[in-house]
Amino acid sequence: MSKLTTIARDDMATIALGGAFLGTGGGGDPYIGRLMAEQAIDANGPVPVIDVDALDDDALVVPVAMMGAPTVMLEKLPRGDEAIGALRSLEAVLGRTADAIFCIEAGGLNSTIPIAVAASAGLPIVDGDGMGRAFPELQMVSMTMFGIHACPMAMADEKGNALVLNTVDNLSTEKFARVITVEMGGAGLIALYPMTGAQAKRAILRGSLSLIADIGRIIRSEQAANRNPAERLAADLGGVRLFEGRVTDVDRRTEGGFARGRARFEGLDSYQGQTLTLQFQNEFLMAETGDGTPRAMTPDLICLLDLETGEPITTETMAYGFRVIVFGLPCDPKWRSDHGLDLVGPRYFGYDVDYQTIEKLNEKS
């Protein structure tokens, strides 16, 4: 993996592409965040990318993000200053300014908006994140496993509303913030999990931005050679092609601040005669064959690629007739711990199955 040291305007298309892939169908449309980051970089210059070990132990590190249903962001575009407004509200409560920004998740809109905030605030961004992919709820981050509190948490919307939450634990933060997000019209911008440099060194997943950029470069280079990037991604990332087919049905609804539903696929080529179902809550969480046999499950990554173009497909843009490759990747090892599975395993989301690794589910007999 090549190490990212600076993010310039010309890097944003590649980062948005890689972020869309790691977003596992969620995290929001990275194109919106890409435009915001490009505008901020044009106005303020490139963003330095730093390794977490470069932080002073007493530095203040803050992730910023979009919260809400990705489907809402297709029509309810941010004004542009909500995320920096949320950061300033949090800084006011803490009585000090942030020393660095980082991404709460490695996917979609939330891999690009923090770059815009870093550029606008004149701050570096840490090469890391809290998930190594995207998950739908606020407490589903590595920081929770290390006892770091989400609060105080600042929220802002496009109307100029801003507020700060203090709750007893991270799950409570999710529950209260989700209700507020619905009242904000289904989406808002947030700053939360303020932590010291010493805490960040223990808690965050490292190298995420460099990985996103690498994945984006792989996809673009394979597209330029008129090849679908699935084979190269499988070889370079240890992933697996789960299915190839056409979307025959999408049941998608915006409910309780999430995009929830399922999509069904019928097989093409070597998968002719087979079917697959993907279930999602913002992100793809479960892939099952027609007889209910799981092929991949949370916290492992389930990603969708357009069969012709190799472009990542998000849950909010997926539609009837799309021809796709369903692609799977192993998650960060931290998520396979007991604590990790309590936070993001299949049973948390209501699936009556015990977690099995994607490697196990797809091993050759």
Q: What is the mean pLDDT of residues 223-244?
A: 91
Report the SS3 class of residue 195.
strand
Q: pLDDT confidence of 75, banded at 50, 70, 90?
A: low
- CATH among 3.30.930.10, 3.40.1610.10, 3.40.630.10, 3.10.20.90 for 6-208: 3.40.1610.10
Convert the pLDDT of each residue in 140-163 to its tens digit: 999 999 999 999 999 999 888 999
What pLDDT, on the 0 to 100 scale, is given for residue 73?
Answer: 64
Q: How confident is the model at residue 365 (pLDDT cuts 50, 70, 90)?
A: very low
Q: What is the CA radius of gyration of the chain?
A: 19
Residue by residue, DSSP assigns 308-321 as: TT--B--TTT--TT
Average pLDDT value for residue range 73-91: 81
pLDDT tens per residue, range 109-121 = 899 999 999 999 9
> Is it the case that residue 12 has pLDDT exceeding 70?
yes
Reported confidence tier of residue 72, pLDDT bands at 50, 70, 90? low
Q: Residue 214: pLDDT above 90? A: yes
Q: Where are the alpha helices (DSSP H) in 70-167?
A: 70-73, 82-94, 113-121, 142-145
Could you give phi then psi for residue 50, rounded to 5 degrees? -120, 150
- Min mean pLDDT across 51-60, 86-95, 225-234, 349-358 is at 225-234
**Surface-to-core class of residue 176, CB atoms within 10 Å of its CB (0-12 exposed, 13-18 middle, 19+ buried):** middle
**Which three-class secondary structure state does DSSP give residue 291?**
coil
pLDDT at 1: 63
Numbered ranges of CATH 2.40.390.10 in the chain? 229-361
Residue 286 tokens read as 């479960």
Q: What is the pLDDT of residue 70?
A: 66
**What whole-number distance in Å separates Cα of residue 220 and Cα of residue 81?**
30
CA gap 11, 318 in Å, rounded? 26
The yes-or-no verdict on residue 221 having pLDDT over 90 is yes
Q: Give the Cα separation of 47 and 125 in Å (integer).
A: 7
Tokens of 45: 């210059």
Residue 360: is its pLDDT beyond 50? yes
Residue 166 DSSP SS3 = coil
pLDDT confidence of residue 323: 96
> Residue 36 corresponds to which tokens in the numbers above?
């915001």
pLDDT at 91 over 70: yes
The boundaries of every CATH 3.40.1610.10 domain in the chain are 6-208
Does residue 26 have a pLDDT over 90?
Answer: no
Residue 126, judged by CB atoms within 10 A of its CB (0-12, 13-18, 19+), counts as buried
- 340 pLDDT higher than 50: yes
The arithmetic mean of pLDDT across residues 164-182, rounded, is 95
**Could you give the C-alpha distances from 142 to 130, 132, 209, 299, in angstroms and in order?**
5, 9, 16, 12
Spell 188-203 as b/e; 16+ CB within 10 A means b.
bbbbbbbbbbebbbeb
Of 33-37, 65-69, 101-105, 157-161, which range is least confident?
A: 65-69
Instruction: Identify whether the C-beta of residue 126 lies closer than 8 Å to the C-beta of residue 55.
Output: yes
Tell me the CATH number for domain 229-361: 2.40.390.10
Does residue 27 register a pLDDT over 80? no
Mean pLDDT of 202-220: 95
Cis peptide before 152 (omega within 30 of 0): yes
**Tell me: the pLDDT tens digits for 272-325?**
999 999 999 889 999 999 889 999 999 999 999 999 888 999 888 899 999 999
Q: Residue range 339-349: average pLDDT?
A: 96
What pLDDT, on the 0 to 100 scale, is given for residue 130? 96
Looking at residue 29, what is its pLDDT?
74
Chain centroid, CA 313 distance in Å: 13
Q: Confidence band (pLDDT; 50, 70, 90) for 15?
A: very high
Q: Does the CA dihedral 5-233-13-52 come out positive or negative? A: negative
Indicate the length of the chain as a whole number: 365
Q: Could you give the 3-state DSSP secondary structure of residue 297?
A: strand
